[in-house]
Structure 1
Amino acid sequence: MSHVSSHSPHGQSPLRTVQVLGGGSAGSSAHVRSLASGLVARGVRVTVCAPAEADLAYGFSGVGAQHFPVPRSSDPAAVAALRVACADADLVHAHGLHAALRAALALSGRRTPLVVTWHTRSHAEGARAHLLRLLERRVVRAAAVVLGSSSDLVDRARRRGARDARLAAVAFPTPRKAVEYGDPDRLRHKARAELGAIDRPLLMAVGSLDRHRGYDTLLDASRAWRSLDPVPLLVIAGEGPLRAALQRRIEDEELPVRLVGRREDVSELLLASDLAVLPSAWESRSVLAQEALHARVPLVATAVGGIPELVGDAAELVPCADADALAAAVVRLLGDDDRRELLKERGVRQAATWPTEDETVAQVLSVYDELTQTRPLA
């Protein structure tokens, strides 16, 4: 595959880029690490501005980028630190709304081009929803190019007044295969034993315990499969503000559900599962959906945001907030071996259509080149 070069034929100095991360969701942090690695390999200088703990978790320095610690708040000190980090940048690339707002403030009065990638959508209600719209408008108007990780995010950026909004190629950093850890069957058995699902179907949901994740609907649906024999166990991996309320419901209603908190071994737990469930009110490029299709685990998901575009015909899609439809899809799939096998095959096919890390870097680099063609000679 041919690569756009970061070096101009006229002896320009290497392109200097700054990648800005905000709170740094798992998806955007992994994307920035992958991007930094590919850009450095192509001769681009990369500085990653992110909280210190993000560099520890994702190892930006380990792939040849310079890490510049910037706190994740929008206070003047954080913006001032960012201004210093961006002082000699040819281009700044911010990931997420809050990172983009800080980058826009830091670049104010400078001609440095700003690229913004929207990986997901912020959620707000009432007065906060109005404020969120204003922030989105401010950010997309400051950006030379907005890249959206799903088509509906591109449409949203255009509605907010983006001059140039495009669909981003976002690679899924493939998780390590279970084979690397040893015998997959033994590992599957070990994970199921730990979760208490040796002789019963295991369902897996992953994600922060927030309102827009649809866990209330999922718990409603879990009532319906209590009548199955054996009763499936639903395991939810993630942490968040709804933990206590969800736990109370599980106990009060005696639901076949376990909250296991934030886990580092989600890939292995997923490989041990019979089904993955994604009940969110909105998602762009869900990491769980991608991991499930990669791992040949049949997926039941809500038909929202970027999900239909991402999974194609390789998952059972149900309406959002419809517990009956969700329960029916799970019960039907658990009872239909052929359908599960078909979804596994389709999942592998669908995953092969997603952008590779190489394609992702090439797209970003071509955007950078467009925006920096008039750079001075070295």
Structure 2
Amino acid sequence: MSPVNSRVPHGQSTLRTVQVLGGGNAGSSVHVRSLTAGLVARGVRVTVCAPAETDRAYGFTAVGAEHVPVPRSSDPVSVAALRTACAGADLVHAHGLHASFRAALALSGRRTPLVVTWHNHAHAEGPRGQLLRVLERRVVKSATLVLGTTSELVDRARHRGARDARLAAVALPRPRTGYEHPERPRSKVRAELGATGRPLLLSVASLDPHRGHELLLDAARAWRLADPVPLVVIAGEGPLRALLQRRIEDEQLPVRLVGRRDDVGELLAAADVALLPGSQEARSVLAQEALHARVPLVAARTGGIGELVGEAAELVPHRDPDAFAAAVLRLLGDPERRQALRDLGALQAATWPTEDETVAQVLSIYDELTQPQPRPLGRGY
């Protein structure tokens, strides 16, 4: 059972909820951890069903939740484990399409309310695209409520047949990576990376397909002609590392792969420009951190990035390396524009919901969906 004390203070919730997470990208995992902490603080008993490594990375148990290791698989054994974990829950909240599909299977035949949050713009073509649409329709048919992190995702859920779809409040906890109070001086970080006397461009993303790394290397060819030549630092690890490193060496690109880092905040504080060449995240963690840290951002216009950053970033067409390269070079040569983006970024970040506001919205939804509905008075009463 949950480690939360069963004697709940007056005015706090007595709900028991289950949060279901798949592999979890950074955005959804950070959100679930933040949401869990806020719910536990308000007396909600929270069980997080997620792969074991996800709890090690994000510390759900550290904020008072019970963690039940459940693999990402939708095989009968995993679904049965999830069904057992959901027994007795007042409400189940699943994050992401595949986690939502598994939750729908686990709750089959039960009347437990299912809330689904779609964090990302899943995209596929051909047979995989057809399967994606089938999964989406199955999930929205089962869900009591679908929350979308962007207006586009809300519209998508409604188009797939959702009974109720609303815009979700999703906050990025601050400060998450230490950019506000870096331990090392900016000059030292830049020197360690090899960016003394030259601009430092930073991208943070796993080295997976669809993250835009190939486009970033294409753009870096144009940056070799600048004086001084900017250094591109990519923080992240993944299956494309060998391929990307080979291209960097063969084409002599001014790019460094520095792997997974625990000091992303300090890297960001040291950067001149943050780069987001492509992302499936509807609310990119890097975009949010860059604006919070007052670092100018150049991003490909994908998913919900435009809705997230407004006028506070340089947005370029998706999959256009020439436009991306040109936007970066223009920004490096225009200190007034960089300052304007810093100021706009701070204003835009101030419009985003806080963690408290996010938890309050979600808890209000939970109360709405779990309160007994009054029975209509029939004729003769």
Compute the TM-score of the two structures, normalised by the length of structure 2: 0.92
Distance 1:67 1:209 in 2: 28
Take 1:248 and 1:56, find their aligned partners in 2: how far apart are those partners?
32
Q: Alpha carbon RMSD of aligned pairs, Å?
A: 1.9
Give the match for residue 37 of structure 1. 37
Paired residues for 1:91-130 under 5 Å: 91-130=91-130
1:305, CA displacement in angstroms? 1.5
Higher RCO (Cα < 8 Å, 6 or more apart)? 1
Q: Verify the 8 A CA contact 2:179 2:268 in the aligned structure 1.
A: no
Q: Distance in 1 between matches of 2:322 and 2:65?
A: 48
Aligned to 1:313: 311
Aligned partner of 1:342: which letter? A
Secondary structure, counterpart of 2:185 in structure 1:
helix
Change (3 A) 1:142 1:313: same
Report if the CA contact (8 A) 2:18-2:47 is conserved. yes
Cα shift at 1:283: 3.6
- Matched ranges for 1:78-93 at <5 A: 78-93=78-93
Higher mean alpha-carbon deviation, 120-129 vs 224-233, is at 120-129
Secondary structure of residue in 2 paired with 1:83 = helix
Counterpart amino acid of residue 73 in structure 1: S
Displacement of 1:242 in angstroms is: 2.2
Q: Which residue matches 1:265?
A: 263
Letter in 1 for 2:278: S
How far apart in 1 are the matches of 2:13 and 2:204?
Answer: 44
For residue 304 of structure 1, report the CA deviation from its aligned partner.
2.0
CA contact (8 A) 1:214 1:280 kept: yes
Distance 1:181 1:324, change over 3 A: closer
Aligned-partner Cα distance in 2 for 1:277–1:339: 16
Cα shift at 1:88: 0.3
**Cα shift at 1:180:** 3.9
Structure 1 residue aligned with 2:285: 287
- Contact (CA 8 Å) 2:13, 2:42: kept in 1 or not? no
CA distance in 2 between counterparts of 1:111 and 1:219 reads 51
Alignment correspondent of 1:247:
245
Give, in whole Å, the separation in 2 of the partners of 1:229 and 1:194. Answer: 21
The residue that corresponds to 2:5 in the other structure is none
Q: Percent identity?
A: 74
Tell me the equivalent position of 1:61. 61
- The one-letter code matched in structure 1 to 2:107 is L
Judge which range, 140-149 or 275-284, deviates more.
275-284
Aligned to 1:274: 272
Deviation at 1:229, TM superposition (A): 1.2
Quote the residue 1:3 is aligned against: none
Structure 2 equivalent of residue 4 of structure 1:
none
User: 1:12, 1:375 within 8 Å by CA — same for their partners in 2?
Assistant: no
Q: CA deviation at 1:178?
A: 3.9
Q: 2:330 matched to which residue of 1?
A: 332
Q: Which residue of 2 aligns with 1:197?
A: 195
Counterpart CA distance in 2 for 1:254 and 1:108 is 55
- Residues 294 and 281 of structure 1, relative CA distance in 2, 3 Å threshold: closer
Label 1:159 to 1:78 Cα distance change in 2 as closer, same or farther (>3 A).
Answer: same
CA distance in 2, matches of 1:110, 1:282: 32
What secondary structure does 2:318 align onto? coil
Question: Shift of residue 118 of structure 1?
Answer: 0.7
Output aligned runs, 1:16-31, within 5 Å.
Answer: 16-31=16-31
Q: Amino acid of the residue matched to residue 44 of structure 1?
A: V
Distance 1:85 1:158, change over 3 A: same
Distance 2:72 2:191 in 1: 39
Note if contact 1:209-1:243 (Cα within 8 Å) is conserved in structure 2.
yes
Encode CA deviations 1:137-162: one digit per residue, 9 max, x unaligned.
11111101011111111111112111
Change beyond 3 A, Cα 1:149–1:13 = closer
Shift of 1:230: 1.1
Give structure 1 regions of 4+ aligned residues with deviation exceeding 6 angstroms: none
State the secondary structure of the residue aligned to 1:163: coil
- Structure 1: tracts of 5 or more residues without a match: 1-6
SS at match of 1:358: helix
> Aligned partners of 2:340, 2:200: CA distance in 1, in Å?
19
Q: How does 1:101-180 map to 2 (within 5 A)?
A: 101-174=101-174, 175-178=176-179, 180=181
Question: Mind listing any 5+ residue stretches in structure 2 that lack a counterpart?
Answer: 1-7, 375-381
User: Which residues of 2 match residues 353-372 of structure 1 at below 5 A?
Assistant: 353-372=351-370
Q: Measure how far apart 1:244 and its partner are.
A: 2.1
- 1:281 shift after superposition: 5.8
| Aligned partner letter, 2:150 | S
How far is 1:173 from its partner? 1.0
Q: Distance in 1 between matches of 2:213 and 2:133?
A: 26
Q: In 2 relative to 1, CA 58–42 (structure 1 residues): closer, same or farther, beyond 3 Å? A: same
In structure 2, the CA distance between the partners of 1:13 and 1:178, relative to structure 1 (3 Å rule), is closer
